[in-house]
Amino acid sequence: MTVQYRYIVYEPSKAFASQFCFSVMECKRNSVIALYLAGKSQPAIVRELSHLKVNEMFVYHTIKRYNDTGSIAKRYGGGPKKTTKTPEMVRKVKARLERNPRRSGRKMAKELKISQDSIRRILKNELKVNFPIEQFINTQNDRVYLNERSYENWSLRMATGSNFPSQVMIWAAVTADGRSPIVFIEPGVKVSATYYRENVLEAALEPWTRKHSGRRPWTFPQDSAPSHKARVNQEWLKNHVPHFISSTQWLSKSPDANPMDYSI
């Protein structure tokens, strides 16, 4: 035993360990805490205990344990984290898919109280059933999970569509507590800056927000379509709405930032 700076540094010999400590590891932890309480930094502790083969991680975790619990005693519950990918969880996921192959992974994760990453790992690695298919509804959310390809599930694996379907262009605004009337764009009309300002901003957005929001502050986001980011329309928004996200603030190629395009 060596005495320095009024603290004790333990030598982890078997005789010493049996006399003063339950184990060599406990002697190392005691030495670390003694130096720590004497005001030594962690790098200094590593240097002074080099003869004990103490590394930086050992010092860090020992001091953290001491600060968290006031002791160097082993905290129970350590070791590998319990995984959610248990046979029971795999069976639960499989049972849900058998009842409804279109059930979303996000919904299953919420029902089973596990992360979406865990659901994806179970689907891909355990059940091997992740087969996203092309759909005309929403390719981000519409998926079918099947464990095999057969004639029985052919209808689930086939997505139909038509060439040159009829289309209609509309405009609408939504808030957390309401929605605007829908504006139908006339067929064949190219939405220019002037058309957008006169038929959408002035004729629809301004009167609806005045009635719906009153004096409450609100922010108007829109993407960077040519008619949206036109200088005259950016100036109009600056003068007629409380706040808006300008075209210079809008990130390019980010449809997920527009709930009307991405979700609704």
Gap between the Cα atoms of 144 and 102, Å rounded: 5
Structure tokens given for 71: 């002791």
- pLDDT for 13 equals 41
* 132-143 core/surface letters (b: 16 or more CB in 10 A; e: else): eeeeeeeeeeeb
Gap between the Cα atoms of 194 and 136, Å rounded: 32
Phi, psi of 220 (to 5 degrees): -105, 110
Structure tokens given for 173: 């605004």
Domain boundaries, the chain: 2-69, 87-157, 170-262
Gap between the Cα atoms of 41 and 32, Å rounded: 10
Q: Given 3.10.450, 1.10.10, 3.40.50, 1.10.287, which CATH number is that of 87-157?
A: 1.10.10
Q: What is the pLDDT of residues 63-119, one digit of tens each?
A: 988 888 888 776 655 555 556 678 888 888 888 888 887 777 888 888 888 888 888
Q: Into which CATH architecture does domain 170-262 fall?
A: 2-Layer Sandwich (3.30)
Does residue 257 register a pLDDT over 80? no
Structure tokens given for 50: 């080099």
Gap between the Cα atoms of 66 and 68, Å rounded: 6
> 108: burial class by Cβ within 10 Å (0-12, 13-18, 19+)?
buried
Choose the weakest-confidence range: 19-23, 48-52, 80-84, 197-201.
19-23
Q: What is the pLDDT of residues 113-169, one digit of tens each?
A: 888 888 888 888 887 765 544 444 455 555 666 666 665 555 555 566 666 666 788
